[in-house]
């Protein structure tokens, strides 16, 4: 695992953006696995800036997102499709047809997960998968449990995740109870994984995930078994490593 410790969130975002930009330069038709959440927003801003300056071309890039809430329309401002449009896709020259997010409105979420697995396979797998990490060690919506889940699947969200997400909805009752997420196998099959972490509140889970035992009770701990992980964090998040 390669580890970068940066001064602050902005430097973390720049470093992570450099890693994505390098991938796009070296392999213009690469498949990027993308994440939502607050942590990668600065990285996306940086990529947009470089695109606008003429330094990056996304015209051949393909993307697959980690997850989506079940039941939210792509136009819902809390859907992950909406997040990706507003934080990245609408500002760069990626072909909309090349962007993939599980469909929140799929009538049969389990069938949608099967379709999504096929999408990833048809793309030939993921070149770089961006991951944030939840306070309980979740990656995507793979919550702590007794086993590692495999491919894209439907999950019932845990109370702690519903509570953490409640701030983004008008009320706690509006937070979806289910999501579709790539599984641990889908994530582990990515050729490279870029984990971004920021803030002191992530320090304990960063330590548990990367120096503790590999266990489904800390889903991110499985990343210790991946041959090509880059961990980029600011010094607050990395302070207990
Ligand atoms: C996002 C995702 C989540 C987040 C995680 C961390 O697509 O799947 O696992 O990466 O909840 O979120 P932030 O970055 O807001 O701390």
Residue 161, pLDDT > 80, answer no
Task: Please answer whether residues 101 and 140 qualify as being in contact, where contact means their C-beta atoms are separated by less than 8 angstroms.
Answer: no
User: Which of ligand 1's atoms lies nearest the C-alpha of 38?
Assistant: 15
Q: How far is the CA of 196 from the centre of ligand 1 (A)?
A: 10
Which range, of 60-74, 87-101, 110-124, 143-157, averages the lowest pLDDT? 143-157
Residue 187, pLDDT > 90, answer yes
Residue 167, pLDDT > 90, answer no
Catalytic residue among 127, 143, 149, 151: 143
Mean pLDDT of 221-235: 98
Which range, of 6-10, 128-132, 158-162, 221-225, averages the lowest pLDDT? 158-162
Instruction: Work out the pLDDT band at 31, boundaries 50, 70, 90.
Output: very high
For ligand 1, atom 2, the nearest C-alpha belongs to 140
CA distances from 72 to 110, 155, 233 (A): 15, 15, 31
d(CA 112, CA 93): 27
Mean pLDDT of 4-23: 98
Is 146 an annotated catalytic residue?
no
The pLDDT assigned to 164 comes to 79
Task: Please answer whether residues 102 and 71 qualify as being in contact, where contact means their C-beta atoms are separated by less than 8 angstroms.
Answer: no
Residue 171, pLDDT > 80, answer yes
Catalytic residue among 65, 68, 112, 138: 138
Is 65 an annotated catalytic residue?
no
d(CA 115, CA 64): 12
Catalytic residue among 18, 91, 136, 217: 136
Is 8 an annotated catalytic residue?
no
Question: If you average pLDDT over every residue of the chain, what do you get?
Answer: 96
Residue 125: how many other CB atoms lie within 10 Å: 15
């Amino acid at each position: 695992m390669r580890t970068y410790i940066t001064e602050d969130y902005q430097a973390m975002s720049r470093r992570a953006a450099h890693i994505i930009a390098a991938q796009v330069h070296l392999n213009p038709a690469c498949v990027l696995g993308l994440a939502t959440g607050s942590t990668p927003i600065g990285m996306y801003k940086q990529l947009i800036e470089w695109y606008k300056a003429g330094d990056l071309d996304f015209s051949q890039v393909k993307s697959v997102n980690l997850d989506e809430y079940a039941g939210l329309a792509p136009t819902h401002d809390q859907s992950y499709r909406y997040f990706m449009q507003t934080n990245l896709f609408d500002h760069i020259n990626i072909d909309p047809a090349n962007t993939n997010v599980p469909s929140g409105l799929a009538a049969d979420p389990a069938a949608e997960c099967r379709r999504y697995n096929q999408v990833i396979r048809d793309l030939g797998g993921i070149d770089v998968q961006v991951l944030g990490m939840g306070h309980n060690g979740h990656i995507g919506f793979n919550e702590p449990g007794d086993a590692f889940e495999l491919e894209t699947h439907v999950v019932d969200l845990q109370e702690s995740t519903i509570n953490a997400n409640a701030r983004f909805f008008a009320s706690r009752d509006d937070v979806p109870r289910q999501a579709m997420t790539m599984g641990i196998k889908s994530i582990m099959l990515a050729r490279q994984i870029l984990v971004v972490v920021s803030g002191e509140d992530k320090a304990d889970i960063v330590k548990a995930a990367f120096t503790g035992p590999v266990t489904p009770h800390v889903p991110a701990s499985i990343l210790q078994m991946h041959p090509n992980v880059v961990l980029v964090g600011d010094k607050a998040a990395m302070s207990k490593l």
